[in-house]
Structure 1
Amino acid sequence: MTTYSRTKEFEGATFLRASFKGATLRFADLSGVTMRAVDVDGLDIDSHDLWFGSLIVNGVDVVPLVDAELNRQFPGRELQKSTTPEGLREGWAAVQAAWRTTVEGTPPELRDAHVEDEWSLAETLRHLVLATDAWLRGGILRMSQPFHEIGVIFSGAAEMGYDVSVFRTDLPTYEEILAVRAERQQMVTDALAEATPELLAEERDNPWGPGDDWHPTVGDCFRVILEEEWAHLRYIRRDLALLGAA
């Protein structure tokens, strides 16, 4: 199967009676795409940033509907948008309780299992270590080198110019992953315990883009951490359900 990577050759293109059956798109920009009279049976869309825009299906913006359904499935998820210290603390407690249920309920044989190219539970926990390091230790606390060596960074990071030399290439044990993950969870708990409205309003640099025009507030950084936690919980529960069914 042909793979198209880092190409803009399809921007503005028109496809007539073309078949995309079974195609896979990852990290693709589909903003502004128009689809008319299309067969979408089984179409599976997963967007990490869905709620920042609109998705029109038969004239209806389905983003609010999807958001409401995910909030129903994951009680406490709506608090990831909170603007108060109390709301962020409550949201953090909710997502950590949900993660505890998933981690404790996963059989050992599924901890490293994959669904296609998705991360396993062990890899997901390592990525959440990295997310905490980036947005708490790097963003909020402004540490020059915030990353733990067991973190798992996103695909293509090296090609994008990020220094990945700090990260280990060998596989840590599951017990080591859980220990580092617990340390990072406690760091967020402690930081939120001391958060005030004034602190949440303070600006920081984007930890993934030094010199970037966007300067997130401390509150923004905490909200990104919560968003990462809920999003990856959804991903791993989806995949564990598929693995369990298989």
Structure 2
Amino acid sequence: MTVYSGTQEFEGATFVRASFKGATMRFSDVSGVTMRGVDLDGLDIDSHDLAFGSLVVNGVDVVPMVEAELNRRFPGRELQSAQTPEGLREGWVAAQSAWRETVTGTPPELRDAHVEDEWSLAQTLRHLVLATDAWLRGAILRLPQPFHEIGQIFTGAEQMGFDTSIFRTDPASYDEILTVRADRQQQVTDFLESATPELLAQERDDPWGNDWHPSVGDCVRVILEEEWAHLRYVRRDLARLR
């Protein structure tokens, strides 16, 4: 099967009576794509940033419907956009409760299992360590070296110029992952306990070097978005593996 990577040759192109049946698009920009008279049976779309844009199907923007259904499936998820310290604290408690259910309910033989091109539960927990390190310890607390070595870095980090040598290449034990993860969870809990509206309004820098200057509250909301998004991914994949 042909693989196209890092190409822009299809931008603005028109495809007529072409077949993309069974094709896979990953980490690709399909914004502004127009489809007319297409067969969509079995089309599977997963977008981390869906809530920040629109997806129009037969003239209807389905994003609000998708968001409402995800909030129904994951009680407390709607608080990832909370603007007050109280709302963010409540949202954090809800996210951790949901994660506790998944971690304790996953049998040992599935902790390192994964579907093709996706992370396992163990890898996902390592990535959440990374996310907390980046947005709490790095962006909010401004620690000079915020990252734990077991963090699971995301695809494309090296291309962004990020030094990945600080991360271990050998797999960490599951017990070690849980220990570090629990420490990072507690750090978020401790921070939110004393967070005030004034603190949440303070400006910070994007920990990945992007041209965005989020508030402290924005950084916390990113942490919550990461928690809920990856919980959804893990539950989706575990359901396929069982």
- Normalised to the residue count of structure 2, the TM-score between the two structures is 0.99
Match of 2:9 in 1: 9
State the partner residue of 2:221: 223
- 2 CA distance for matches of 1:217 and 1:156? 25
Map of 2:113 onto structure 1: 113
Runs of 4+ with >4 A deviation: none
Structure 1 match to 2:199: 199
Q: For 1:240 and 1:64, how far apart are their aligned partners in 2?
A: 26
Whole-angstrom CA distance in 2 between matches of 1:78 and 1:223: 11
Structure 1 portions without partners, runs of 5+: none
- Indicate the RMSD between aligned Cα atoms, in angstroms: 0.6
Summarize deviations over 1:156-212 as a string: whole Å, max 9, x none.
Answer: 211221100000000110000000000000000000001000000000001011xx4
Q: Describe the superposition over 1:17-62 as per-residue Cα deviations: whole angstroms up to 9, x where unpaired.
A: 1100111000100110000000000000000000000000000000
1:23, 1:213 → 2: CA distance?
Answer: 33
Give me the whole-angstrom Cα distance separating, in 2, the residues matched to 1:156 and 1:199: 32
* Cross-structure match for 1:154: 154
Name the CA distance, whole Å, in 2 between partners of 1:4 and 1:213.
28
Which whole-Å CA distance do the structure 1 matches of 2:88 and 2:178 have between them? 23
- 2:235 maps to 1:237: yes
SS at match of 1:15: coil
**Residue 231 of structure 1 aligns to which amino acid in structure 2?**
A
Hey, what's the Cα distance between the residues in 1 that align with 2:165 and 2:8? Answer: 30
Residue ranges of structure 2 left out of the alignment (5+ in a row): none
Deviates more, 1:190-199 or 1:157-166: 157-166
- Alpha-carbon distance in 1 for matches of 2:142, 2:112: 33
Equivalent in the alignment of 2:49: 49
1:98 equivalent in structure 2: 98
TM-score normalised according to structure 1 size: 0.98
Please give the alpha-carbon distance, in whole angstroms, between the structure 2 residues aligned to 1:84 and 1:56. 32
2:29 paired residue number: 29
Counterpart amino acid of residue 84 in structure 1:
T
Shift of 1:213: 3.1
Letter in 2 for 1:6: G
SS of alignment partner, residue 165 of structure 2: coil
Query: Could you tell me how far apart the structure 2 residues matched to 1:67 and 1:108 are?
Result: 32
Identity in percent: 79
**1:165 aligns to what SS in structure 2?**
helix
Structure 1 residue 145: deviation in Å? 1.1
Task: Report SS of the residue matched to 1:87.
Answer: helix
Most deviating of 164-173 and 151-160: 151-160
Letter in 2 for 1:97: S
